[in-house]
Structure 1
Amino acid sequence: MASDELPRKILRILECKQGAVRAVRFNVDGGYCLSCGSDKSIKLWNPHKGTLLHTYSGHGYEVLDARGSCDNSLIGSCGLDKSVMMWNVTTGDSLRKFRGHAARVNCVCFNEESTVILSGSVDGSVRIWDLRSRKNDPVQILDEAKDAVMSVAVSSHEILTSSLDCYTRIYDLRNGQLTSNCIGDSVTCASFSGDGQCILVSTMGSALRLMDKETGEQLAQYTGHSSKEYKVESCFSASDTHVFSGSEDGLVYCWDLVQASLSHTLEHTGSQIVHSLSHHPSKSYLLTATLGQVWLWSAETEETE
């Protein structure tokens, strides 16, 4: 992806009207997005047109994360009420509520087939819930973390978690192996690269690191942003050529993946913290969340849809 094809231009600002926006996520094909609010709601948007499509309400407290399934028929969400909920996208009905975590649930993630949903909690566990079963008990509990689990990501046969105990953990489901890597700072976000060879790791020490998945070796470090008091997310560009991170100074930072040089920043006027972001799975769009707003960015050459 050339530098002029990176998201640089603000296309739209969504006034979500759901209190503070805790997370923003593109769906699997990038046509829609989800915003999670402190008002206990999840909202489904067409961000390209600025259209609100549906509101989902049923959590008892703030919603901290939400994801869409692989066929866009389901939404999984979690929050301060210690529960994981499943929603019918079309009708807005609540289909399932999974309980079992002892503390707030920070993150959720579907597997590639959306047959299970995984949830990570302040209680230090990742719980795996089978959506095909009528039972509401987790089919597996991963409890190796010694502190809060902050993010969970899934590839075809691996589960990646990050924790405030300073570790990332990769569970290899094919071989039944666990690989733990001590980062040195509390880890707030970790994600797989598109080719599955690298891991992007955000920490509370204002450092963003690129790690080799197999060896745990640090390949690059990206600095300039601030993440000392809050969880700020990071992500790869769709083509893995650049990385993005939110920041406590109201900017989103973009670096060249290999050179680790700063490409540009995205300024959020009037905002102090940009904590959540989501890159389009295939195109040059970036969603960012700050205060009660979601911002949609695109490449300079992209026309508004």
Structure 2
Amino acid sequence: MAFPRPRPARPELPRKHVRTIECGQGAVRAVRFNVDGNYCLTCGSDKTLKLWNPPTHSTHPMCLLQKVNCVQFNEEATIIVSGSIDSTVRCWDCRSRRPDPVQVLDEAKDGISSLKLSASEILTGSVDGRVRRYDLRAGQLYSDYVGSPITSVCFSKDGQCVLAASLDSTLRLLDKETGEMLGEYTGHRSTSYRLDCVLSEQDTHVGSASEDGNVYFWDLVEGSLALTLPVGRGVVQSIAFHPTLPCLLAATEGCVQLWREDSFEGDTTTT
């Protein structure tokens, strides 16, 4: 007689504060992991991007012409894509580290608030209330109108869905191809600031930064609130989930915090 296999353990959420990094960039507007989680990228109100090496805390700054709202690596970490308040998306070459972009996308009618990359697509959210998807292989642009100004967008891991956050304090899960709404998530506060939304490393939870100093996580399928993470007193403007671990970066004011699961064993430090 064959015994049934045990059910896999429920994925953990980050609950333990591990480290705080003082970035020295003014207000940190965005923080991101690279594809393997070994580096992180921050952009600040001082119009700079900083590439961080966490073990050594060394940085490489890149100057910009406009205030930046969002940044991300491509999968090979050879290109950085940034979105700006001047309504443009700019692509930067990490290998040459040239001070000017190699490509500019300017279809948006208002500031670019968020962007995400896949192997062949650039997904952007704009204050004009539209989610735009650039299919780089087909050379096509697709656009969905949400209505409320978009603050953040991201792909699901299977590439079939898009998560969009907006200034009506609502996260919406959309079918990528049809734009059909598959789910709504509320309970956080987002009315004035550009705040991030994320999906956990296994697509089991939806997460959002909030103006009340917390990060919120909901169960993707049930829509129920699963965790309220108290990050600080100020607005939590940007969050990023590690690509393979229950590990969260949260940016508030001028610093970035690292959060891990309860079972994680490591020192708590400030750098």
Normalised TM-score (structure 2): 0.84
How many Å apart are 1:143 and its aligned residue?
2.5
In structure 1, give the amino acid aligned to 2:170: A
Question: Partners of 1:109 and 1:194 in 2: how far apart?
Answer: 16
2:30 aligned with 1:23: yes
How many Å apart are 1:178 and its aligned residue?
1.8
* Corresponding residue for residue 112 of structure 1: 75
In structure 1, give the amino acid aligned to 2:256: V
Question: Partners of 2:254 and 2:58 in 1: how far apart?
Answer: 17
2:173 aligned with 1:210: yes
**For 2:58, which of 51, 54, 75 is the aligned residue?**
54
Question: Partners of 2:76 and 2:160 in 1: how far apart?
Answer: 21
Question: Partners of 2:211 and 2:56 in 1: how far apart?
Answer: 28
* Corresponding residue for residue 260 of structure 2: 298
| Matches for 1:71-110 after TM superposition, within 5 Å | 78=64, 81-82=65-66, 104-110=67-73
**For 2:222, which of 259, 262, 286 is the aligned residue?**
259
- Structure 1 range deviating more: 181-190 or 129-138: 129-138
Q: Say whether the 8 Å CA contact 1:43–1:52 is kept in structure 2.
A: no
Question: Partners of 1:131 and 1:149 in 2: how far apart?
Answer: 21
Question: Partners of 1:4 and 1:282 in 2: how far apart?
Answer: 11
In structure 1, give the amino acid aligned to 2:20: I
Distance 1:302 1:161, change over 3 A: same
* Corresponding residue for residue 86 of structure 1: none
**For 1:123, which of 86, 93, 108 is the aligned residue?**
86
> Higher relative contact order at CA 8 Å, sep ≥6: structure 1 or structure 2?
2
* Cα deviation code 1:184-222 (max 9, x no counterpart): 110111111111111111111111111110110111111
* Corresponding residue for residue 162 of structure 1: 125
2:236 aligned with 1:274: yes
Q: Say whether the 8 Å CA contact 1:120–1:149 is kept in structure 2.
A: yes
2:220 aligned with 1:220: no
How many Å apart are 1:19 and its aligned residue?
3.6
Distance 1:273 1:133, change over 3 A: closer
How many Å apart are 1:140 and its aligned residue?
4.6
* Corresponding residue for residue 40 of structure 2: 33
In structure 1, give the amino acid aligned to 2:129: C
Question: Partners of 1:134 and 1:7 in 2: how far apart?
Answer: 34
How many Å apart are 1:5 and its aligned residue?
1.2
Question: Partners of 1:205 and 1:2 in 2: how far apart?
Answer: 35
In structure 2, give the amino acid aligned to 1:53: H
Question: Partners of 2:97 and 2:231 in 1: how far apart?
Answer: 45
How many Å apart are 1:277 and its aligned residue?
0.8
**Is the partner of 2:57 in helix, strand or coil?**
strand
* Corresponding residue for residue 10 of structure 1: 17
Q: Say whether the 8 Å CA contact 1:3–1:263 is kept in structure 2.
A: no
Question: Partners of 1:37 and 1:52 in 2: how far apart?
Answer: 20
Question: Partners of 2:240 and 2:30 in 1: how far apart?
Answer: 9
Gaps of 5+ in 2: 1-7
In structure 1, give the amino acid aligned to 2:52: L
Question: Partners of 2:142 and 2:75 in 1: how far apart?
Answer: 21
Q: Say whether the 8 Å CA contact 1:106–1:119 is kept in structure 2.
A: yes
Q: Say whether the 8 Å CA contact 1:168–1:180 is kept in structure 2.
A: yes
